[in-house]
Chain A
Amino acid sequence: MNSRSRRFVVVQTIAAGLAAATLLASGARAEDKIIKIGALLPISGPGSYFGVQDKQGIELAIEQLNKAGVNGYRFEVHYEDSACGPLPATQAAKRLIEQYKPDVVLGEECSDATLAIMPIMEQAKVPLINAGSSAIKITQPGNPWTFRIFPDEVMQGNNIAANAYTKLNARTAVLLHENTNAGIGNANVFNEAFTKLGGRILADIGFGRDVNDFTAIATRIKGLGQVDVIPTYTLEGQGLKITQALMQAGVTKGGDGHAIQIGTIWLPFGFEQKAGKAALGYVRAVQFDPLDQRPLVRDFVAAFKAKYNQAPTHLNAHAFDQIMLIADTVRRGATNAQSIRDALAKTRNLAAVTGTISFDAHNQNTSMDTIHYMETLPDLTWKALGWN
């Protein structure tokens, strides 16, 4: 082989190699079509049980979706600890946007943190899906990039007040809430709605997250005369102590008192077992009914038990729904942040594990079937009250 022929062979080999590399690269790109999901969750601090349980729901959904992919896309999640507070959430959101560059973001659970990250997501033009913050400001006025899949504080508060008045025949109430945007907001809505119906608020008691002993508060409530209901807006740890203190003071049914505590979706499943006898008669609005017989829910419960060897909570369920909602937008052709946002805005009557998802003009889910009322029985199991 002369030198010219040798050069020709070398050039041919290089060309063939480049062609093969190009083919491989294009093949790899086809397989690597990824929807990048950022998750801003409280993984440390008093609200960290949210993050731990959300992660379980997210991982299950991702595992199921990535078996076959959706429209050729797979899903990837990157977690940041937003710690249930505005400052850490802001820092985590900026880190997420700058470093991970997500197509869509989930979070936060705590309203103050969600309100803090909303402008960052809007500026970055990345849709934010929220499943657990109730402050009205998140969607009223909200912004075009933030979507909430469960009822806001007004929808919840009006509903809880109406059910307390009509179903429980409550005429007097004491409001207990942590002094946060969500705590104060929820209590105010209940106050307004309950008063309009003819009920009377005997006391509106707010407290910081650093309060540990609720005996003094229970004593004060005991001295207020007959209290029919005690709507309580707090995280699990303080919620437990409040319920126990109210029982010890003889205010609630568990302590042979008259009052019924009404709780919110802030409390995870398993609360009754931790609170014990004190939880007797406790009525809770939960975001997910594990007794729901829809095949979608039964499949979710079975898959969750198979993966984690435990029953799912509402936090697991709403995190699962967030991912499935994103998958639904991809199924409808969304491929990036802008198209995911546009598809989210058009979501109507999507059947999810927690209930139905239909967004209004403010990106607020308008369905009330994500709120389920449960009453704690003497054996600490639940009875679904079927009020919605």
Chain B
Amino acid sequence: MEGARLELMTVVLQQGINGVVLGSLYVLVALGLTLVYGVLVQINFAHADVVTLGAFSAYFFIHGLGGGYLPSIAVALLVGSALGWLMNAAIFAPLRHRGNELLPLIATIGVSVMLENAMLAWFGPIPYAFESPYSNDVIRFGGVFLTLQNALIIATSIVTIALLYAFMKFTFLGKALRAVSQDRETAGLMGINPDRIVMLTFVIASALAGMAGALLGPVLVLTPFAGTSVIVKAFAIVIIGGFGNVEGTILAGLLVGLIESFTTQYLEPGMIDIVVFALLLLTLALRPTGLIAERREENV
């Protein structure tokens, strides 16, 4: 009896850890989406492909240039931010200035399709084996295990979230970003250049996506479509957490990660999407502003 209880606790603890790892990955991807939405009220469908390109740039930095895995995360971050700058400067910003909100949204779909097919042409369709030196190093304690790669994912997520929080809360640019997010016109009257802030948002969001790609690479099946498989969940997380709400996104990301793990354990992996999207519908019906946003309104 005691043995069975211990075994149950071990399984619960293990699935809890698995859920936190998965949730951390989702949070890294979803944060960029929610930032862009918060500032522009625009969904960026190309975000998934920045994740994929981040993963590929890390892969080729290691396998093509002989670089290490940890520096490859920084490389992916830089590639992501450069791509974010390029996409906004060349495509989204000019379209936004035409005054039609639909055009940049459709453009993100176009950029996504274009990037996917470009990657298909460059990298081919065969899955890449993106091995992190930490993937096969397993820490075992009391029947529970955690790979060093997963520990790195959790640690990176915590540091990223902390840095993003500090940036938004304590720096002038972070405050300006929040101001543009709340009221673009008034922020403009206060001397903030909204176009620069939008550009900054795209750069930060894409940098996060690129970094997420480098961390996801060893976890994902790395093909030109890798990011697409994560982005649907990321969208769900952003909606559950409250569009544009960073705290809500973090909470929802972890929640979805845990739901996935425990659904796999006690129901079926095939039920994961049913459970996650049932939660999404429930959120839309009961708390349409998301998990955190509504609580804020109540607190006011």
Contact = CB atoms under 8 A, between A and B. Distances in A.
A207 B270 contact: yes
Interface in B8-51: 10-11, 14-15, 18-19, 21-22, 25
A274 B223 CA distance: 14
Interface string B238-272: 00000000000000000000001100110011101
Nearest to B269: A207
B194 to A, nearest CB: 37
Contacts of B11: 219-220, 223
Interface string B58-71: 00000000000000
A289 B286 CA distance: 59
A44 B131 CA distance: 24
B145 interface: yes
Given A44-B120, A217-B269, A212 B219 contact: yes
Interface stretch (A15-23, A66-74, A232-240, A298-306): A232-240
Interface string A123-153: 0000000000000000000000000000000
A248 B144 CA distance: 11
B221 A237 contact: yes
A276 interface: yes
A248 B129 contact: no
Contacts of A277: 136
- Give the interface size class of chain B: 35 or more
A268 B126 CA distance: 10
Interface stretch (B101-109, B181-189, B224-232, B290-298): B224-232
Contact of A44 (B125, B269, B273): B125
A52 B7 contact: no
Contact of B125 (A52, A219, A248): A52
A351 interface: no
B223 A237 contact: yes
A210 B270 contact: no
A46 B221 contact: yes
Nearest to B14: A219
Given A241-B221, A277-B136, A248 B147 contact: yes
Interface in A217-246: 217, 219-220, 222-223, 236-238, 240-241, 244
Contacts of B129: 240, 273-276
B94 interface: no
Contacts of A46: 221, 223, 225
B220 A45 contact: no
A212 B221 contact: yes
Most chain A CB within 10 A, of B136, B222, B264, is at B264
A247 B136 CA distance: 8
B138 interface: yes
Interface residues of A, number: 42
A45 B125 contact: yes
A213 B18 CA distance: 9
A216 B15 contact: yes
B135 interface: yes
B124 interface: yes
B127 A212 contact: no
A250 B219 CA distance: 17
Given A46-B225, A48-B125, A244 B268 contact: no
Interface in B131-162: 131, 135-136, 138, 140, 145, 147, 150
A212 B229 contact: yes
Nearest to B260: A216
Contacts of B131: 276
B230 A219 contact: no
A278 interface: yes
A325 B260 CA distance: 47
Q: Tell me which of B19, B220, B269, B273 has the highest count of chain A C-beta atoms within 10 A of its own C-beta.
A: B269
20 contacts: A46-B221, A49-B125, A49-B127, A52-B126, A208-B269, A208-B272, A215-B21, A215-B22, A215-B150, A216-B22, A216-B260, A219-B264, A222-B14, A236-B126, A236-B127, A241-B219, A241-B221, A247-B136, A248-B147, A275-B129
Interface of B: 7, 10-11, 14-15, 18-19, 21-22, 25, 120, 124-127, 129, 131, 135-136, 138, 140, 145, 147, 150, 216, 219-223, 225, 229-230, 232, 260-261, 264-265, 268-270, 272-273
Given A46-B223, A206-B270, A215-B21, 15 more contacts: A45-B125, A52-B126, A206-B269, A208-B270, A208-B272, A210-B229, A212-B216, A212-B219, A215-B22, A219-B18, A219-B264, A223-B10, A241-B221, A244-B135, A276-B129
9 tightest A-B CB contacts, nearest first: A237-B221, A48-B125, A274-B129, A216-B264, A207-B269, A237-B127, A49-B126, A216-B261, A215-B18
